[in-house]
Structure 1
Amino acid sequence: MTVLRILHLYPAELGINGDAGNVLALAERARWRGVEVDVVTHAPGAELPASADIVHIGSGPLSAQRAVHDDVLRIAPRLRQWRDAGVPFVAIAGGWQLLGTQLETPDGEVLAGAAVFPSRAALGGKRHVGEIVVRLADGTTIAGFENHSARTVLDGAEPLGRVVRGTGNDGSVEGVVVGSSIGTHLHGPLLPMNPVLADRLLSAALRGELPPVPQTERVDRYATNARRAIADRLGVSL
């Protein structure tokens, strides 16, 4: 790979919670390690690039989800091909819901999803807004901010982690993992706050371990302090 291509789906419609920071974090952490990066954005009706190494989709309200829904279904076969080929996806909240198998609106309408993730979401009348701490299967603790009304069911997939404080999918688990791809309710944005996830996505895309460099060591200390502040406010330990 000579250039790492990051595909950012619908940045104008889905990106109300600082989600563009995830793309910036991926790009900068790759560049700090000497990797050339090409960030490509995709809007409804446009053609997808011939290839992608990482795919990102951010969050948005139901009105924004409706605005891109037809296009999501149009490009869904290509997205699934990339997933099957090992391209890592990072899907945030509303974007994750669109890349699941279905999204049920509060009035009972069911919108078909792209089926990149085996997850189903139902939007309710109660919003879950606040900081959240999640423990991954390997014991790593991540933190962020959730702002959603969804109850999410995983159909045979593993969750990203277990909720320590917060709501997540159902009050017990949070997010989803399929291969090297993740879906999550965490904003903040997610990857600057939790660089371990950013580097896992980059490692999957670049097919190798990423060495630490001075720039990552410095910003990772800031991220650790930010997560610790959230944990302290919620009365939990990292």
Structure 2
Amino acid sequence: MSVLRILHLYPRELGINGDAGNVLALAERARWRGVEAEVVTHAPGGELPTSVDIVHIGSGPLSSQRAVAGDVARIAPQLRQWRDAGVPILAIAGGWQLLGTEIVTPEGETLAGAGVFPTRAVLGSRRHVAEVVVTTRDGLTLAGFENHSATTTLQGGEPLGTVVSGFGNGDRTEGVVIGSAIGTHLHGPVLPMNPVLADRMLQTAVRGELPPVSQTERVDRYATNARRAIADRLSVSL
């Protein structure tokens, strides 16, 4: 691979809670290892690149979701094709909802999703705003911050993990995994806070092992301390 191409969908509309930091983390962690990285952004009405190695979509309010919903429907076939080809996808909160099957608003309106994830989000009147700790099936402990009003039902795939503290999907699970695609409510942003997820996405994208380098060791200590601080505040153990 000569250049790692990271596609950032709707950074202007869906960019709250620092989710753009996920893209920065991916690009920098690749560059530290000698992999050239290029970030390509996509706005409503634009054309997608012919090929990408990673896709990211952040979160935003319902007004922003409505603003991009038509374009999401337009590019949905290509997004599903990339998912089926094993391209890593990271979708955060409102962006994840848009890439699910549908969003039901508090007024009963239904917005059709892209069908990348087999998930359905029902937005309520109560917001879930809190720090979160999640354990994954393979023993990782993830930490972050949630800020959403959705109860999310999985109609396929597997949860990203089990909620130790927080709301998550609403049934003690958090997120969804289908192939190399991840949907999650975790902000933080999630990849700088949990760099093992970033490295797993990069490893899948470059189809090889990632060598450790001094820069990752240093910033990973900061991430470990940040997760530990959240766990301490929530009185849970890492």
* TM class by smaller structure: over 0.9
Cα distance in 1, alignment partners of residues 223 and 143 from structure 2: 10
Find the counterpart in structure 2 of residue 12 from structure 1: 12
| Matched residue type, 2:34 | G
Q: Which residue of 2 aligns with 1:35?
A: 35
What's 2:49 paired with? 49
State how far apart, in whole Å, the 1-side matches of 2:236 and 2:171 are.
16
Letter of the structure 1 residue corresponding to residue 46 of structure 2: A
Q: CA deviation at 1:156?
A: 2.1
Identity across the alignment (%): 79
Could you tell me which residue of structure 1 aligns to residue 223 of structure 2? Answer: 223
What SS class does the counterpart of residue 151 from structure 2 fall into? Answer: strand
Per-residue CA distance 1:120-169 (angstroms, 9 max, x = gap): 00000000001000001111100000000000000121000000000000
Instruction: Deviation per CA, 1:51-97: give whole Å up to 9, x if none.
Output: 11000000000000000000000000000011111101000000000
Q: What are the ranges of 5 or more consecutive residues in structure 1 without an aligned counterpart?
A: none
For residues 44 and 210 of structure 1, the distance between their equivalents in structure 2, rounded to whole angstroms, comes to 34
Equivalent-residue separation in structure 2 for 1:171 and 1:179 (angstroms): 22
Describe the SS at the equivalent of 1:12. Answer: coil
Deviation at 1:171, TM superposition (A): 4.1
The 2-side partners of 1:121 and 1:65 are apart by: 13
**Matched residues in 1 for 2:180 and 2:171: separation?**
24
Match for 1:111: what amino acid? L
Q: Please list every run of at least 4 consecutive aligned residues from structure 1 whose deviation after the TM superposition is greater than 2 angstroms.
A: none
Aligned counterparts of 1:180 and 1:217: Cα–Cα separation in 2: 25
Answer yes or no: is 1:26 the counterpart of 2:20.
no
1:86 aligned onto 2:86: yes
Distance of 2:2 and 2:69 partners within structure 1: 33
SS at match of 1:128: strand
Q: Which amino acid aligns with 1:162?
A: T
Residues 28-60 of structure 1 show CA distances to partners (whole Å, capped at 9, x for unaligned) of 000000000110000000000111100000000
In structure 2, C-alpha distance between the alignment counterparts of 1:184 and 1:60, rounded to whole Å: 13
**Aligned-pair RMSD on alpha carbons?**
0.6
Amino acid across the alignment from 1:213? V
Instruction: Map residues 1-238 of structure 1 onto 2, 5 A cutoff.
Output: 1-238=1-238
Q: How high is the TM-score relative to the length of structure 2? A: 0.99
Distance 1:211 1:218 in 2: 14
Q: Quote the Cα distance in structure 1 between the aligned partners of 2:112 and 2:131.
A: 30
Aligned length: 238
SS at match of 1:47: coil
Q: Structure 2: how far apart are the matches of 1:204 and 1:108? A: 39
Kept in 2, the 8 Å contact 1:181–1:201? The answer is no
Distance in 2, Cα, partners of 1:156 & 1:193:
27
Q: Distance in 1 between matches of 2:160 and 2:220?
A: 21
